[in-house]
Chains A and B, each alone.
Chain A
Amino acid sequence: MSIVAENLSWGVRRKTIVSDVSLTVAPGETLGLIGPNGSGKSSLLRLLAGLRRPASGRVEINGRDIAQVPRKALSRQVAFVQQSAATDTNVTVADVVRLGRTPHRSALAGWSEADEAAVAEALDRVGMTSRRKQAWQTLSGGERQRVHIARGLAQAPQVMFLDEPTNHLDIHHQIEILRMVRDLELTSIIALHDLNLAAMFCDRIVVLQSGAVCACGTPEAVLTQQTLRDVFRVSAHIDGSADAGRPHIRFSAG
């Protein structure tokens, strides 16, 4: 499914947090969203997923303005994996992943074969099948993150928004999860911190600075020494050789 955002702006009181963002994501594309802390990545993702109402501008998913789509219908197509989820309730891993089926079930409908299959597959994808009965509270940060990704997958979405999904993950799972998301038949927008991971797995990258888009394009086009210095305030050497079109960044200690 395609996503089109036109002139999105949002803020609190006097402060503008997302300013005039327009972007287009083609069906099946994986878009990376990078930018320094506080540049508005999480806020933009919420606007795109319809969790916040923009002050101005609009978002279309597959040609329909999401402001016009009922919540439940929208969440059958769009999954949102938040940055850090927390709860005090004593739930199991399987309970959490089952929540992903919420938009597909009516108020009193039983648990169907399709629901069970979706949950089992999602758990398998993130390698948490053997933990399905473990208490969520007792998981490590990275395991919680993977369970939440599984929940998003159980939603069977066509569009997935992930807010820094690789935080807390070990390097194996960082690569594993991003590869999985890239290879899934869905459109995804991923906020990422690690520029090299963004370069490795994203088809295109959007760079945010103070809530506005300051660069957009292929990893090669966007990740330049210039951008890194201006936006991220680091000096780095960029290696284009290892993988065609996938630059590799070496930061210098200065």
Chain B
Amino acid sequence: MSSDTSEGGAGRLALFLCLSVVVLTLAVAAATAIGDYNIALRTVFLSVTNKLGLTGAEIAPIEQSVVWNLRLSRALVAALAGAGLAICGAILQALLRNALAEPFVLGVSAGASTGAVCVIVLGIGAGSLSLSLGAFAGAFAAFTLVALLSNGATSGPNHTILAGVAASQLFNALTSYIVTTSGNAQQARDVMFWLLGSFGGVRWPDFQLLLVVVIVSLAICIWMARSLDAFTFGDEDAAALGVPVGRIRLVLFGVTALLTATIVSMVGAIGFVGLVVPHAARYVVGPLHLRLLPACAVVGAVFMVIADIVSRVIATQQTVPIGVVTALVGVPFFAVILYRARPQT
């Protein structure tokens, strides 16, 4: 193996991933320590090791509880959501060969919001579980509609994006219609807030579910990473390279839909991560998916955990919706990448 091949340089990727994991650990620790009521990092560490049965340090039960029951689960769900959305973005950008592709461009968030509104306003079902289920069903419905409109996304990248735009418009209109005709001001506010995303209500069971979904999805995507590379010059070219195009498409769109719908149903529609993280990761590790996908996962995780910290400290006594923060933090960062990656003419 020569060292100048992009396939080689595995050492560099490993170094990058290790560094990212260290940064991720620090970010999660910081997210657990920082809040309305700051907790010392040492206490955070000991609470966790206490819970895992490694130490038996004396810690105030309230701090122990805040660390374990509220903040750590929240930080870890944020990390998984960031990883999942970034992976979805990378997959869709490769399959659709469009730099703008991400789950929400394909109408998923609009569908999820319609589903959520049906639950909040029309009161179909009740309780937080059914809100999640409503969002999940809505997200899936939107994805299916886009898949049908674009002929299984085989009608070309722009066609699929257009189908996504059409689906978004349709579901947004439905949401507005339901809210204005049968909702009240408070419900409209609830919906709006939910849509912009929040990690507020998440607990350990959410983490466990999301962990399984993210790991399985990432494994499937990595298994198909070589095939994704073959899509570089289009579907027909991928077929000429021996890729079973129809099957890969079906599986990967399915995985993306499932992963996005799961995330949206837990924490709302957090935009921008799926769009910006793959571009940032590509800039560092290159376009080959065997390296890009793990890189997206860790970068997305770090990005989301930091965005969550910012959302809690940016305004006193208030939690700014996470979707607002991802855009506020992400856009300047994205601008730098766009600027540095501009074609040299």
Contacts and interface: CB of A to CB of B under 8 A. Distances in A.
B233 A72 contact: no
Given A71-B244, A75-B242, A80-B240, A133 B7 contact: no
A99 B230 contact: yes
A91 B237 CA distance: 15
A246 interface: no
Interface residues of A, number: 40
Interface stretch (A7-15, A81-89, A219-227): A81-89
Contacts of A51: 236, 239-240
Contacts of B183: none
Contact of A95 (B6, B225, B240, B341): B6
A100 B232 CA distance: 12
A72 B244 contact: yes
Contacts of A46: 236
A92 B287 CA distance: 10
Contacts of B239: 51, 71
Looking at A73, A102, A105, which has the most chain B CB atoms within 10 Å of its CB? A102
B241 A99 contact: yes
Contact of B288 (A85, A88, A95, A110): A95
Nearest to A50: B239
Interface in A20-68: 46, 49, 51
Nearest to B225: A107
Given A71-B239, A74-B242, A103-B242, A91 B223 contact: no
Contacts of B63: none
A73 B244 CA distance: 11
B1 interface: yes
B292 to A, nearest CB: 11
A12 B227 CA distance: 28
A138 to B, nearest CB: 8
Interface string B1-40: 1101111100000000000000000000000000000000
B269 to A, nearest CB: 27
A87 B8 contact: no
Contacts of A6: none
Q: Is the interface of B mostly helix, strand, loop or mixed?
A: loop
Given A75-B241, A79-B240, A90 B287 contact: yes
A137 to B, nearest CB: 8
A98 interface: yes
Interface string B198-241: 00000000000000000000000011111101101110110111
B240 A116 contact: no
A88 B237 contact: no
A89 B232 contact: yes
B232 A96 contact: yes
Given A51-B239, A80-B240, A116 B282 contact: no
A46 B288 CA distance: 27
A90 B282 contact: yes
A155 B241 CA distance: 8
B97 interface: yes
Contacts of B222: 108
27 contacts: A51-B239, A51-B240, A70-B244, A71-B242, A74-B242, A75-B240, A79-B240, A87-B97, A87-B232, A89-B97, A91-B232, A95-B287, A98-B5, A98-B6, A99-B229, A99-B230, A102-B226, A102-B227, A102-B243, A107-B224, A107-B226, A108-B222, A110-B1, A111-B7, A111-B8, A133-B4, A137-B343
Interface of A: 46, 49, 51, 70-76, 79-80, 82, 85-92, 94-96, 98-100, 102-103, 105, 107-108, 110-111, 113, 116, 132-133, 137, 155
Given A85-B233, A102-B230, 19 more contacts: A73-B242, A75-B240, A75-B242, A76-B242, A86-B233, A87-B232, A92-B6, A94-B5, A94-B6, A95-B286, A96-B232, A98-B7, A99-B232, A99-B241, A103-B241, A107-B223, A107-B224, A108-B223, A111-B5
